Amino acid sequence: MNDIEKQLEFLVRTEELKDVFRRTYIPAGRKENDAEHSWSLCLYALVLSEYAEEGTDLLKALKMALIHDMVEIYAGDTFLYDKEGNESKAEREKDAADRIFGILGRQGLALKAIWEEFEENKSKEARFINTMDRFQPVILNFLSGGKTWKEHGVHRDMVLEAGKDKVLKASEPIRDIYLRLIEESVRRGYLLP
């Protein structure tokens, strides 16, 4: 198979991201799919880039946002608050990364390296996209009246714990809005105290 055939096979396979549904509801009342989530993260990163650490490479961050959930085509989406599912998540996603990025050969190795960088959360770009990845669902939960949180009995401390190494270490404006949304969600009954 030549390069363009591999690239087209990869692109066709990535269409399946539209069929991977997350637990988070969009304002229209249905669950968000992974493709929508990835697009949303790109938009958040683009619009909120001034709050990233100085020297963050926006293009690299956007690439990371686009591919960060590609592995879920094979591994499925693991709900953030699913303790049991999260125990096997890293292994399932690593296997899925080999499979999805392996389609592309050499080019896939570069994309897999970006995905691994996101997972490690050590670079400026990874920290920024991981922040957006925790920030965006809180906004959607707020807009949906806490529908996902209510369905799964999520408490305030669970959301804070999930964001402690990502959003709570972000720039002050992002962190402040995140905390205000959580507190307002508790006040409105969207999130258990």
Q: Answer yes or no: is pLDDT of 1 > 80.
A: no
Position 58 scores a pLDDT of 98
Q: Answer yes or no: is pLDDT of 186 > 90.
A: yes
Percent of the chain past pLDDT 90, that is, above it, reads: 97
| DSSP alpha helix (H) spans, the chain | 3-14, 34-47, 58-67, 72-75, 83-102, 106-120, 124-143, 147-151, 156-163, 172-188
Mean pLDDT of all residues belonging to the chain: 96
Confidence of residue 180 (pLDDT cuts 50, 70, 90): very high
Distance in angstroms (rounded) separating the CA atoms of residues 144 and 80: 17
Q: Answer yes or no: is pLDDT of 33 > 80.
A: yes
* Tens-digit pLDDT profile for residues 160-177: 999 998 998 999 999 999
3-188 has which fold? Hypothetical protein af1432 (1.10.3210)
* Tens-digit pLDDT profile for residues 149-160: 999 999 999 999
Instruction: Summarize the confidence of residues 8-31 as an average pLDDT.
Output: 96
Residue 81, H or E segment: none
Report in angstroms the alpha-carbon separations of 95 from 71, 72, 90, 163, 172: 8, 11, 9, 26, 36
Report in angstroms the alpha-carbon separations of 79 from 12, 59, 162, 172, 173: 25, 28, 11, 27, 27
pTM above 0.85, yes or no: yes
